[in-house]
Amino acid sequence: MAMKLVSRKVTFGLAAVAVAAFVGVSGQLGLAQASEDDEAAEEAAADDEAAADEAEAEGAGEEDAALAQLMTEGGSVYSSNCQACHGNEGQGGAGPALAGSPILTSIGTISRQVIDGGDRMPSFSQLSDRQIAAVATFIRNSWGNEFGIVTEEDIASWR
Ligand code: HEC
């Protein structure tokens, strides 16, 4: 009698363990499946994003290259023609500071000032459209300024 009771308890115990194990395993399988699905969805989203980034990078790459080129040319136009009055850091001197100057948001104002000169600033109309576009791009994007590119066509329209 006592033995039977013990063996029943053991049987019941084993069954309970088996059920628990089954539930545990199938639960984990379910989880594993779900996380695989998530991963697949994430990968698909990442692929889409990569494709969009690539398309964007192509456009941005060209613009970055044009900007970098104008910055290089503009830096040398600036140091030969403007730096003496506006400072090597755009901090100003005989001329006003160009670093942080909100006047530089206007391409028209820069073009007029450089082509015509001002009260105390000489005219630089001898510079080519390309050189003025380059120096305008340079002062608009140096020393913390971020006002964007200026093209030769922009300058030509102000001649
Ligand atoms: C001889 C000194 C001198 C030189 C060289 C000079 N500038 Fe100026 N610049 C000035 C002065 C002074 C002003 C203030 C307006 C005026 O009196 O014409 C000025 C104003 C400006 C302005 C308008 C900014 C403002 O706050 O009014 C810009 C933009 C500018 N200069 C860009 C240039 C560029 C680009 C060059 C080189 C191609 C250059 N300057 C060369 C003296 C100079």
Q: Where are the domains of the chain?
A: 14-156
Ligand 1, atom 10, lies closest to the CA of 95
Q: What is the pLDDT of residues 22-64, one digit of tens each?
A: 555 555 555 556 667 777 777 877 788 877 777 777 778 888 9
Determine the 3-state secondary structure of 59 from DSSP.
helix
Q: What is the pLDDT of residue 84?
A: 98
Q: Ligand 1 mean position to 85 CA, how many Å?
A: 7
Q: What is the pLDDT of residue 51?
A: 76
DSSP 92: -
User: Is ligand 1 within 6 A of the CB of residue 107?
Assistant: no
pTM of the model: 0.72
Q: What is the pLDDT of residue 157?
A: 97
Q: What is the pLDDT of residues 142-154, one digit of tens each?
A: 999 999 999 999 9
Architecture of domain 14-156 in this structure: Orthogonal Bundle (1.10)
Q: What is the pLDDT of residues 12-29, one digit of tens each?
A: 555 555 555 555 555 555
Long-range CB contacts (< 8 A, 24+ apart) of 103-108? Answer: 104/139, 104/140, 104/145, 104/147, 105/147, 107/136, 107/150, 107/154, 107/158, 108/158
